Chains A and B, each alone.
Chain A
Amino acid sequence: MSLVSEVLTGGIRGGTSINYAALGESVSERGGVINLGTEGSMLCGALAAYAVAAESGNLWLGVAAGAVAGGLLSLVHAYFVLSRGANQLATGLVVLFLGLGLTSMFGVDYVQALAPTFKPIDLPILGSIPLIGPIMFDQDALVYVSYVLVPVLWWVIYRSRWGVLLRAAGERSEVLTANGIGVLRIQYIAVVVGGMMAGVGGAHLSIAYTKAWFENMVQGRGFVAVAVVMFAARQPFKVAAGAYLFGSALALSPALQSRGYGINQFALDAVPYVVTLLALILLGRRRANETPEGLSKVFDAPTVA
């Protein structure tokens, strides 16, 4: 396999967990809530999926458990932010700590456990398309689900009634209130759906990508997801592209090492974060205008409680 196609294939594989989480975070942010606890939801999703898959032997049950666990943790974020008026950014980090602690407490039993894992499926016809086929269509089932999810989410956000309500909740919530529509309920749903998708992202990480569970295994991917959402301006297709960009940067290190390049592994490990930062810098200013108005208030809110 050539270096480019290896990096791109790995980019999709490694970027999928971030893709799920970032798509979820887009929903949440469209509703006006930023959730740094995405990292925690991914952790909870990763553990729940791994544990349930190990106990039941059923991968999809594992994915469902991951979604539930991620959603439950984000419900904590939603409650404190939406119903108790706590600072969104600080609460998100605290929620991450909660997820980190809970998963290390309840995850110890699964560190060495064996669980079934997703295997790549070479799709007929699609898989034989030159260049694209082996990169995109020799992946696991959760990757294929994410291919479908991206346009579906685009449709939901831009074309469905719920999408209009969601965007209105994030941009001009008073309009909804004036029309007798409950903003709070929409925002709760947005945050929890976001957390569920982050949970599925975590599930992909544990039962498809690393094929293991260990403490703090998400390693900043949740934060990267938040950054991706920012430079991709909460648009599903761009979010997916951003996630694969990070995934490709992640795949660069093993690809180069297997070819015997004598580059320090840790210098390469920093590349994905540097790439994310650069993408933010290059695309950041242009995107700032596209931030939902309700969300910009979060960044300007006084930090002194």
Chain B
Amino acid sequence: MTVVTQDGSFDRVADAGAASPSLAERLDRLTGVARVLAAFLAALVLFGLVMMLKGVNPLTAYVDMVSSTFSSWDSVGDILVRSTPIMLAGLAVTVPARAGLINVGGEGQLIIGAVTAYGMSMMVDGRLAGGLTLVLMVIAAALGGAVWSGLAAVLKQVVGISESVTTLLMNYIALDLMYFLIYDRWKDTAGSGQPTTEALPISERLPLVGLGRLHGGIFLAIGATVLISIVFAVTTWGFRLKVVGGNTEAARRSGLKVGLLLLSAMAVGGALAGIGGLTQLAGAEFKLRPGFVAGYGYIGFLASWLGRHRPVYVVLSAALLSTIVVGGDSLQIDSGLPAASVNVLMALLLLMVFGFGRKKVTA
């Protein structure tokens, strides 16, 4: 069978030959999950201590957070609305990470995706059916994100500068680019003077799926997760990325086109984030405005690392982190803490997982 040479399936096939997945392996995975749960608890306790420093009773705060976050099906829908771009931004980190690249540019790629999608909508200007325009917008968003992230991969290859730094800097450039457009060229002149674009026509928005404000973008995120999982598991490209990520030099010497693989991994990542930007535009916000992606790119980065760059775990982590973000609203309303306080909880969670989520490895 050809799949034997591919990533992942190789192990599985080998295992099947011996016995069912070995007990030790299962236990290992279980302790892994248990460790992560323990890390989560530790983060909650530490954040509780920080809240006490601010004179907030952590128990009340947590109870309020849970009860207001899960008060109704609509609020579950709200969590998923926030999860959608974070999931895609997380996958945008996951794909390059497989090839050993660190994409910290999710935020900028989300913005560029939304900007190019909006530009496509303006270009079409209602001359095509809404659904068709939406498809074109998805394509434009993916291309925009891919070009934006691909630039970082090119710079790494040609000039040898780390993609982690270039992608970070490009986030700020993307943000200023969007500001430039919404304060100037694309500004809604009929609006209330706020720096926003006009809202997308209703026909070009992602349809609601019947759970509060939840829109069809969630299916794009889930579809991307499934697709990436399959690509990682069975395609040659997915396997080669892993080889490059494991040992670039060995990959080069065995004749792989490393430069092209790195570029494609980064571009696919950027395309995913670009689509994430589109879901935020066509599903949640409908217009470009300041604070449009509200750090979702960075949270997606955290989600990818929390999920150890395994697609399914990454999107689950994204859902967890966006639940925490929604919980931040409750912190603000019920406990009088700024919404950004949840960044502390997220950071503590990640640190606990980085430090204690697995057996110690030496750097």
Contacts and interface: CB of A to CB of B under 8 A. Distances in A.
Interface of A: 36, 76, 79-82, 84-91, 93-95, 97-98, 100-102, 104-106, 108, 215-216, 219-220, 223-224, 226-227, 230, 264-267, 269-270, 273-274, 276-277, 280-281, 284-285, 288, 299-305
Contacts of A108: 338
A302 B98 CA distance: 8
B340 A269 contact: no
Contacts of B229: none
A273 B180 contact: no
Contacts of A230: 161-162, 165
B355 A80 contact: yes
Contacts of B3: none
Q: Which of under 10, 10 to 19, 20 to 34, or 35 or more describes the interface residues of B?
A: 35 or more
Interface in B329-363: 337-338, 340-348, 350-351, 354-356, 358, 360-363
A98 B340 contact: no
B interface: dominant SS: helix
Interface of B: 50, 53-54, 97-98, 100-102, 104, 155, 159-162, 164-166, 168-173, 176-177, 179-180, 183-184, 245-246, 248, 298, 301-302, 305, 308-309, 337-338, 340-348, 350-351, 354-356, 358, 360-363
Contacts of A101: 340-347
Contact of B358 (A80, A94, A104, A305): A305
Contacts of B298: 93, 97
A80 B183 contact: no
Nearest to A92: B164
B50 to A, nearest CB: 7
Contacts of B309: 303-305
A6 B164 CA distance: 33
18 contacts: A97-B346, A101-B346, A105-B341, A105-B344, A215-B340, A219-B172, A223-B169, A264-B180, A266-B176, A270-B172, A270-B176, A281-B159, A284-B160, A303-B101, A303-B245, A303-B309, A304-B309, A305-B308
A179 to B, nearest CB: 20
B179 A269 contact: yes
Contact of B350 (A94, A269, A284): A94
